[in-house]
Structure 1
Amino acid sequence: MLRLLDFVPFDRRRLGLAAIAGLALLAGLIWSVDRVMYSRALSQEKAAARDDAEILAAGLRSELDKVSLLPIALAGDLQVREFLEGDPSQTGDLDIRLANLAKQSGSAAIYVMDKSGLTRAASNWNQPTSFIGSNYSFRQYFRHALTQGTSTEFALGTVSRKPGLYIARRIGSAADPLGVVAVKIEFDKLEESWRKATDGVYVTDASGVALLATNPIWRFRLTEEGQSRPRNVGQDKKRFGLAKLEPLLIGSARGSEKREIVEAPLLDTLQPISSEGWDLHLLVDPGRSAAAAIASGRLAVALALATTVALAFAMFFVRRRRESLQEEMVAQRTRTLRDQLSQANRLATLGQISAGVGHEIGQPVAAMRVFAENGVKLIGCGRVDDASANFREIVGLADRLGLITGELRRFSQRQPGPRRLVQIGEIVDGALLLLRDRIMSMNVTLRVPAAEMLDIAVVAEHVRLEQVLVNLLQNALDAVDKNGEIVIEVSLIDDKVGLRVLDSGAGIGAEDSAQLFHPFATTKPDGLGLGLVISRDIMRDHGGDLVFNDGEQRTCFTMIIPHTQ
């Protein structure tokens, strides 16, 4: 019996086999392209997530650093001690003072307890949720601070029912404690900013409990690691208002939103926060990026099937277009992260010099009080002219306070401001105003340029150049011993202005100098290794540069700035 296939021409059979082979090859090609693009998208998202998590962690550390010194300062405050020792005249003044401090620092509450745990003074004294009269001896932070001197605890407020971090400090000695001062920090605004900018963020403590979260449902839930540890039910009830902490289950970072066509596991990027064991977890849903990458790959394959000529043209166009888009996205993200790092660097610098600036402010305030008290007495004695002289001194001191606070406000601004014509002297004066107390306390000899060199003008962003100079002077102060010497020099060569900082420190070795401008390379035990990197970026953004002058007898860094004729 003859088969139908015997009548089919040989060429048609071969064509059919070729078509089947071509379809199989196309399917395999599409599958391979999908896998490659998927893997590449995941790698890029992981790298971006690590950078974003570091920025978010820096922001949280900044929030904690803003108030970390408050309990220490208040524990040693004379007014607080006299109040707990039984001076009733301090009650109203102390409440008002604590309220002002809470407002200035952004703290949710500041309160003082006696050694029995009874709250005697509080910043929220005039609010329905006032802590005054409440006894917090059952709180872990109170007991530990009373016995060990200091303590921190994250817990749900018993009065406000709002979660927050309590930082406590003992008042008085361990042998004779007077009480405890506590500061509560709430993170509502920070969580809201995370909620707008990310797929999901949560922060866990050392026991695996989620304390902060962009999704309120995640708060006070246990991670997989935390579920394996034994829990103190009574302590959990006091801290979190829950006798049993449920497991933390995260299916989708944003919860109710529809997932992308391409399913991909959530990326959980971890970044350590503090010595207490806090960790920040940044969740990233790579589905959108994976879908875009796969679609882009399939488009390239479709274009490749047209013709050989179209293949070359289409592949070239798609590759260039994709690279352009990626470069634009990377450039935009780099600009954003650079600005955020620069702002974090300025805030970190302010944190480092806050004690010195506080001293600079404290001295005029104390002097103003003395002049004011003497002025009142002089008026009472009829010596009006002498009293007027005292009041003129107060005006001068107030102007000095305004100068210091204005410089702090300008230095901490998120947006440094437009470029304008600025004299080198303005930049030097601003940096020295912020560092004056540290320089004087170390008895460092400081040599500045002649007045005519300080009058040289450049077009720049004042605050950003000042930030670079403050970083260089901070490094120089770290390098020199007491009674050391720091020299600031200004030189003018062709169309460039050189602003140099030299110090008499031990110098920088050849191995360390090769890594100076590499991110996270540092010789300081508590340094991040970003100060010089950020500073050089700022100088290059101004069309100049920041260089290390190797071979000098002293350690020398030079800020190169384009000169304005």
Structure 2
Amino acid sequence: MANRTRLHGWAIAAAALLLCGLLAMLAVDRVMRSTAIDGAERRTTGNAEILVAGLESELEKYSLVPPVLAQDPDVIALMRGERFRAASLDRRLESLARQTEAAVIYLMDERGETLSSSNHARPDSFVGSNYAFREYFRRAILLGEATQFALGTVSRRPGLYIAKRIGNYTDPLGVVVLKVEFDGLEESWRESGKRVYVTDGDGIVLIGSDPDWRFHALAPVATETRDRAEDLRTVGVASFPLLDIADRFERVVSVPLHEGRIAIAPSGWVMHLLVDSSGEVANAVERGRLAVALAIALLAMLGGLVLYLMRRRHHARELDVARRTGLLREQLSQANRLAMLGQMGAGISHEIRQPVAAMRVYAENGTKLLERGDAESAKSNFELISGLADRIGAITGELLRFSRRGTRQLKPMPIGEVIDGALMLLNDRIASQDIAIALPGGEEREVEVLGEHVRLEQVLVNLLQNALDAIGSGGRITIDISTTPESCLLAVSDDGPGLDEAVVDRLFHPFTTTKTAGLGLGLVISRDIMEDLGGDLLYEPSKAGTRFVIEVPRA
């Protein structure tokens, strides 16, 4: 009995779940169907507006040509009887038609006789033909301008004729006509798969993506208001059969056709874009049903997603810690550079004061020499002043570069540039302590390394500062260079008392120092910089004094 009750309960639950699933499916079907239809309607209207903008732009481009030609002095002269201008105008019209992609451009006198045409060299040339019977000619002579969609009398190709009167109403000289054919536009519509057609004010199809739609009517045309003979002569048909668009679509589901209708200025035409959204609606409904089926699977995936997000958060925290550590290292390196600049401040000030004082003396002497007329000696003094100014500029430029944050952009450079920059910053202290500096030869200084000038210079300045502190006055510092296929080894040695074994073991540990006022961070920061540049900073034991080696990757 209990089992039967339990089975009955499971059956009710299953039925309830099935019912809820069916109701959800029906609700989703309705929502997806409505959403797809609304979206298709909006896209249809938007695409129709885009097509209209493109067609209007084309028509506007062509409509500018006849008014310009109607004002052309050569055209007016031709109409006034200077027939010798016809040949040159034929060539101009031919070139203009080619540039504007017009089917043909031609000039008629006030009687409708064609005097010049862009197709003058073709067998179907309009020159000599009379088109006074054309409606666009009659209306242009009467109203000043006119348009007419018609078949060509010779080519039987449909197109829009744009006409402009030459001269004024009281003294008409003739008419300029440009014909536009839409074969290329219709072909682009067909290739894009769009069902597009354009109707005139009477609802008659003039151009479209399907050539069979041309000269069909959307609704019965009142025959009593039209001239059947004129229609037959103009468009080749005396009556316009009805166009049944709906029969030309293969429907997947029962939904209405979407039609975008946009008026086209200034021709009085209407653009029609037809869209069958039945396939889109069917796909949307299928997607909705699939979404309902996937909802259950998504619940199972939720646990995995939560675990993934937790791991991702942990990874983000690690990245943030790494970023903060890098920032701290950069700040510590910058603080170390500024501290070294503070220590070198008095010496650099002396380096600048001496040239400034000398410049003043040379300037005073130069002035006196000029007063005595000794221009050659004065020139020599001023050249010395220029050299001293260059010296000050070099010192201050090196000082500014050293104080900037490292760019971390590695580039090839000769190792001698780093040596020169460091010695310039420490020049006064080296001189004041009467220190002898042994430098590498010219060829060794040209070894190309891959590094970043400011930070390499910071490491070298740090080592030289330590050596100067260790040896006191009258000592000797040696800078030498050796190479391996991968690295350049820049060594700094001094003849000081050297380091205790106890200190050597903890040399690159923070806060290890033999100076009473030091923090013990200089060597730590320097090795950190070199590792960041792909190199290293090493201590090499020596029989006398202290020796450090900067290992820099070769370019």
**TM, length-normalised to structure 2:** 0.50
State how far apart, in whole Å, the 1-side matches of 2:73 and 2:266 are.
30
> Partner of 1:300 in structure 2?
291
CA distance in 1, matches of 2:224, 2:22: 49
Please say if 1:51 is aligned against 2:42.
no
- Which segment is superposed worse, 142-151 or 277-286? 277-286
Question: Residue 224 of structure 1: SS of its match in structure 2?
Answer: coil
Residue 98 of structure 2 corresponds to residue 103 of structure 1: yes
Ranges in structure 2 where 5+ consecutive residues have no aligned partner: 306-555
- 2-side partners of 1:20 and 1:158: how far apart? 76
Structure 1 CA distance for aligned equivalents of residues 133 and 8 of structure 2: 88
Letter in 2 for 1:241: G
Whether 1:144 and 2:139 are equivalent positions in the alignment is yes
Hey, what's the Cα distance between the residues in 2 that align with 1:244 and 1:136?
24
What percentage of aligned pairs have identical amino acids? 45
Q: Determine the C-alpha separation between the residues in 2 that align with 1:75 and 1:204.
A: 29
Cα deviation 1:440-473 (Å, max 9, x = unaligned): xxxxxxxxxxxxxxxxxxxxxxxxxxxxxxxxxx
> 1:313: how far off?
8.7
**C-alpha separation in 2, matches of 1:273 and 1:88:** 39
CA distance in 1, matches of 2:66, 2:238: 30
Contact 1:207 1:229 in 2 (8 A): no
Note if 1:126 corresponds to 2:121.
yes
How does 1:99-498 map onto structure 2 within 5 Å?
A: 99-224=94-219, 230-251=225-246, 255=248, 259=251, 261-304=252-295, 309=300
List per-residue Cα deviations over 1:291-310 (Å, max 9, x = no partner).
22111100012223569646
**1:76 maps to which of 57, 71, 80:** 71
Compared CA separation, residues 288 and 92, structure 1 to 2 (3 A): same
In structure 2, distance between residues paired with 1:270 and 1:132: 40
- Could you say which residue in structure 2 is the equivalent of 1:61? 56
Distance 1:191 1:156 in 2: 16
Superposition deviation, residue 20 in structure 1:
5.0
CA contact (8 A) 1:198 1:284 kept: no
Q: Could you list the per-position Cα deviations for residues 234-278 of structure 1 after superposition, in whole angstroms to 9, with x for gaps in the alignment?
A: 3322221111111122137xx57x55x434322111222213321
Change in 2 beyond 3 A, CA 1:13/1:236: farther
Taking the aligned partners of 1:88 and 1:275, their CA distance within structure 2 comes to 35
Q: Deviation at 1:222?
A: 1.2
Contact 1:268 1:282 in 2 (8 A): yes
How many Å separate the matches in 2 of 1:21 and 1:243? 68
Instruction: Classify the secondary structure of the residue corresponding to 1:86.
Output: coil
Deviation of 1:64 after TM superposition, in Å, equals 0.9
Match of 1:385 in 2: none
Q: For residues 389-431 of structure 1, give each alpha carbon's deviation from its aligned partner in whole angstroms, at most 9, with x where no partner exists.
A: xxxxxxxxxxxxxxxxxxxxxxxxxxxxxxxxxxxxxxxxxxx
Q: What residue in structure 2 maps to residue 29 of structure 1?
A: 24
1:331 maps to: none
Gaps of 5+ in 1: 1-7, 315-565
Q: How far apart, in 2, do the equivalents of 1:269 and 1:19 lie?
A: 48
1:86 & 1:307 partners in 2: Cα distance?
A: 86
Q: Shift of residue 39 of structure 1?
A: 1.1
SS in 1 for 2:246: coil
User: Deviation at 1:22?
Assistant: 4.6
Partner SS for 1:53: helix
CA distance in 1 between partners of 2:302 and 2:227 (Å): 67
TM-fit CA distance, 1:67: 1.8
Closer, same or farther: CA 307–102 of 1 in aligned 2, 3 Å: closer
1: CA distance, partners of 2:129 / 2:121: 14
Aligned 8 A contact 1:108 1:185 in 2: yes
Q: Secondary structure in 2 aligned to 1:298?
A: helix
TM-score (norm 1): 0.49
Tell me by how many angstroms 1:79 deviates: 1.8
Q: Judge conservation of contact 1:266–1:284 (CA < 8 Å) in 2.
A: yes
**Which of 30, 36, 40 pairs up with 2:35?**
40
